Structures are given as C-alpha cells and as structure tokens.
Amino acid sequence: MSKSRQSSRIKALLPQTITFDDSDDGEVGDGMVKAPKSRKRQKRDEDEHAPELQQGRRKKAKGNTGKLSLLPTMPLDILFEIFSNLPPKSLLALIDVNRAFRETFGGPIWATLKREYQAPDPPPGAVTSEIEWMKLLFGGSGCRMCTAKGVNLDWVLRKRLCRDCVSKVATPNRGFNQIYSGMLSFQTDKKLVLDLVLPTSSWNTMYYPHSQIVEVIREMAVRRAKGKKKGTMRVEVQKYATERKTYLEEWSKHNDVCAEWMKAQSKQRKLDAQQIGRGRIAAIEKRLLEMGYTQADLSAIRTLPCVRRQSPLTERSWKMIEDEVFQERCAIVSRLYFEFLRTLKPIEWRSYPNSRMICLLPSVNRILTKDEAESVLEDDFRAVMQAKELKKEIMDWVKAQKDQLAGLITYDSVCQQGDEKFNLAVTLVGCRVCYSSYWGPLNVMLGHMYGSSCSGVLRRLRRDGQLSWSSVGVWAAKILIEKSGLSPDHATVDDMDEKGLLYRCTKCRLFVKSWRECLQHLYFTHPQNNGAIVEVVTAGKDNRVCWSCSRCNAHLGNPVSRDSVLEHLETEHKVDAPRVPQDFCFVGLKE
C-alpha cells in the first residue's frame, strides 16, 4: 500500500480564504477567494399597517454556520486524533468531503478501520480501490440500484443489491443463450463459459454476473488468437481455464472469510446496541426514581417507545421525552386520587372532578411540575391526597363553578335559593369550550370538564367560565319533568333518576331514551319548541353503564347498569326498595 501524501493545498491555505467544493471533484482554491456580494433587496412601500406588522415580526435567529470552514487549517496530527474517535460511517462521510480530504485521509482512515475492526483486505486480483472497499464493508445497507433498505452484501457482485436488482446485472442459466449466443464460437460453448464464472443466488436461482461472462468470453478469444499462431489453441484455452478455476477457488474462499467477518460484525453491532439500550433504560430509571416513581411504576415505563431506543440518553433526548414522562407521573396522581376517592362515600365523590382536573390544583401541581433534578417521591403525592388541603381545594373549585353559574341563571320559576337550585332537573348546564352535544345537570358537567369527552381538552384549551347555563332548554326539561308526574319547580335530578322512566319523542318515533338523553335530543333536534312533545314508554330497559351503589365503593371507577346495581343492593345490602341517592346514584359513563 502506497504511503498517503500530505495535501499541499490543505497546508498552504489561509483560514480566511478556505473554500471547498461539495462535489467529489472539488478542490481547494489556490488564492484569495472573495465571497460574492449579496444582492440588496428592493425596499418596498409599506402600508399603514407596517408598524403593527413590524412589531409582530420575529427576528430569525442565526445558526452557527461556517464554523467547520477552519477545520482544514488544523495540524494533521490533531485531525488524525479527532477522526480516530469517529464511527466508520462518519469516517466514510469525511472522505467524501472533497478530493483534498480524500487524498489526505483515505489511507490513514483505512488503516484505522482495518486495525480496529480487523477488516479483511480486498479480494486477490480485484480492481477495487481502498475507498471502494471501505464503502463496501462499512457503508449503508441500501440497495445500490433502488430504494430498498436492509439489503445484504453480495460478495460475488461486490455490491449491495436487492433480490430484484440482481437480475439486472446477472442472468440465470436459462437466459444465457438469448443474450450471449452471438458472442460464442464453435470452440466456446455455454457450459465452458459458465464453469469459469462464479455465480450468485437470488430467489433460489443461480445467477451468473454479466461482467464475469463478458470477461471470460473476451479472454478466451484472446487466448485462442494467441494459440492459433502457434497451433496450441486448445492448450491456451485449457491453461486459461485452469488459471481461472484456481482464481475462483481463492475468490470463493475470500468471500467466505468476508461473509464470516460481516456476520461477526453484525452480531457485535446488535450486542453493542443492546448494551446501549440497557444503559439508556438504566439512566432513565435513575432519573425517574428521583422524580418520585417507585420500582412498581418502572415496569410500565419501560414499554414506552421513547425509553426503548438503542441510543445513549443525552440531555437533549431527555427533554424530548419529558412530556411522556410527565404523563406517566400524572398516572401516579390518578392512581392515588382513586385511592383517595375510596375514603369517601359515593354521594360525595360522584360530584368530584376527574383526575385531569386534580393535576391542575395547586397542591398537586406544585409537586407534579417539580424539576427532575429535585427528589420527588410517591409519598409526597400521597401526603397531599390525605391532607385536608386537597379536599378544600376541590370544594373551592366546585364553589367557584357554582358562583360563576349563579349569575347566569335567570329562570324566574326556580324557587330554591343557594346551591339547592343546582340540584333541580330544570337547571341545564353546558360546556362552552368544546360545544359538545351534551347539556345536563351540574354534577355531570363537573366530571365533563377537563375530561376525555371534552374536545376542548384535545385542543389544549384552558379558560375560565367553561360552563354556561342554558335558558333555551328549560322548556325541554319542563316537558320531561311534567310527563314524569313531578313539579318542575321542585323536581331534582335524583328524583328523575329514581323514576327511571324511558321516553319517546313523538316527532322521532324511533328515539326512545332516558330523561337525560331525551333532554339533549329535544335541546339539539327541536331547539325552537316547535310542538315537539314526548311520551312515557312502559316497555324497555335502561342498559346504560352509569350507575353506582351509594352504600359502598364497589362500583368506584367501574359503573354498572341499573339492573346490575339493583341486584347488587338486593344481594349485598338486602335492600328491596332502593332509593336515589341513598342507595344508588347516577355517576356518569366511565372516563
């Protein structure tokens, strides 16, 4: 191997005048190269809104461009030391910078790769440069002729080709005569040529490379012409056949060595990647334990895609997964909040907000959003759940919603004062953030806020005054209450739930639902009170899964149907005539 010479161009250039061509044939300039002057932009007349636009215009931050332009001015021994720590693909990319880099670093880089990875030499007699051989061993896994990825290296063709592309550079036995019949003479038959060609396989078929076939046919023609003058044509052809077969044997053995080396390298890369992946998981687990996770929580965290990656954990990658980690920390809050609700009676927790709302309360949020460097334990959350502070914050939040709604209610027939008016079935509350197709009693809408059913949450909307009162639906509620035999001025939500009746819209004969669903139907389908009335249906069953026992927490987080809760009351609590809300209550669909 010839000794690599030091590029005089790299040595002679001044730092301020170095320019490189990005192409393979690029060379370093020999003299002072002036940067082309940038063209000035034509100043446009600005309209009267220009000052406003100017204020809202952001200044684009400039990146650190041009910092690598001084790299070739560094001493070569320092560059060699830096480049010796690069992985193979980065070294190959370094060679492709330009001709100066290629001529200066090609030989040393190959020597480094050969020493560190025990890479095999090019095959004997092959017209392959060191750079081409390096790219063959350490280059990408894509097909050289198409966009296929993950292609194995074909040592016979010395290329990475997918199975479909192999047929473009080689021919099977059956296609030989169609292509090469015009090149064969009576002395050279098909079998003799193919015996001197090293085949490859694709789709369980042997393929003979065109390059080898053409080489063999041409060389045999040369040998025949040489022996024809001496009368030793057959001897020359036989001599070439012997030499060729010997070469093919050496080539085949070399291919086996290369294949074994590649197999060992692939296995080592997998082991290294697994080791890096284990180190990443360990680093993430260490940080998560400092954030308050327990060992029991880590089993679920390990399955996250952001965790199961085979790359080292850096500060940048940690910041990229903080959102997902934050969601996992919220899962801890949700679980502990569920345990907190178990300490309450169902009549109490049925009007409590969901766990997403709890994460926004100050006592929980100040722990939830602590920096990962601070030690946060699960006991910190548990202490908040068990303290009176959380319960007070929830009550204050509910009271704030009621106070905001109290100023909106203008229905004169509402005779109850204070919080009692929110228990009336005629008091219809809706969500003004998502404008979803749900209007109902306050206790249900408190669970709707910040829940998965609120599309405003999906848009990350957070605003005060999310709930609103509707006067349009009062007539619809009055119709249902009167059809149930109750007074609109006194009937509560629990009274309507205890009735458990089903209703049919007389204009939509197929619509048969409970009073809550029928209330929404009238509100959205017949908003102008255009004579739409309802009638009570005696036949039918309420199959909604939205009921819970009020005597125990058996259905906390897992509501059941009305028939199931009545059966539970009869078998577990020996209640024959259950009442709402003393024995069972409506808790809404599972979040």
Quick check: 480 and 441 in contact, CB under 8 A? no
Q: What are phi and psi of 465, to 5 degrees?
A: 65, 45
Looking at residue 325, its pLDDT comes to 60
Looking at residue 34, its pLDDT comes to 45
**Number of CB atoms found within 10 A of residue 519's CB:** 27
Residue 123: CB partners within 8 Å, gap ≥ 6?
158, 250, 251, 254, 255, 258
Residues of the chain with pLDDT under 70: 1-72, 125, 127, 185-188, 291-294, 296-297, 299-306, 319-329, 369-377, 411-419, 433-440, 450-465, 472, 510, 528-532, 590-591
Looking at residue 566, its pLDDT comes to 93
Residue where the block lists tokens 């220009």: 50
Q: What are phi and psi of 251, to 5 degrees?
A: -65, -45
Looking at residue 357, its pLDDT comes to 78
Q: How many CA atoms lie within 13 A of 13 on its CB side?
A: 23
Quick check: 580 and 497 in contact, CB under 8 A? yes
Looking at residue 23, its pLDDT comes to 40
Q: What angle do CA 124, 126, 130 make, to 5 degrees?
A: 95
Domain locations in the chain as residue ranges? 1-27+72-139, 144-317, 321-406, 412-538, 547-586
Alpha carbon separation from 498 to 342, 417, 487, 492 (Å, rounded)? 24, 23, 15, 10
**Number of CB atoms found within 10 A of residue 348's CB:** 12
Q: How many CA atoms lie within 13 A of 458 on its CB side?
A: 8
Q: What are phi and psi of 68, to 5 degrees?
A: -85, -5
Q: What DSSP string describes 14-65? A: -GGG----SSTT----SS--PPPPPPPPPPPPP-TTHHHHHHHPPPPPPP-T
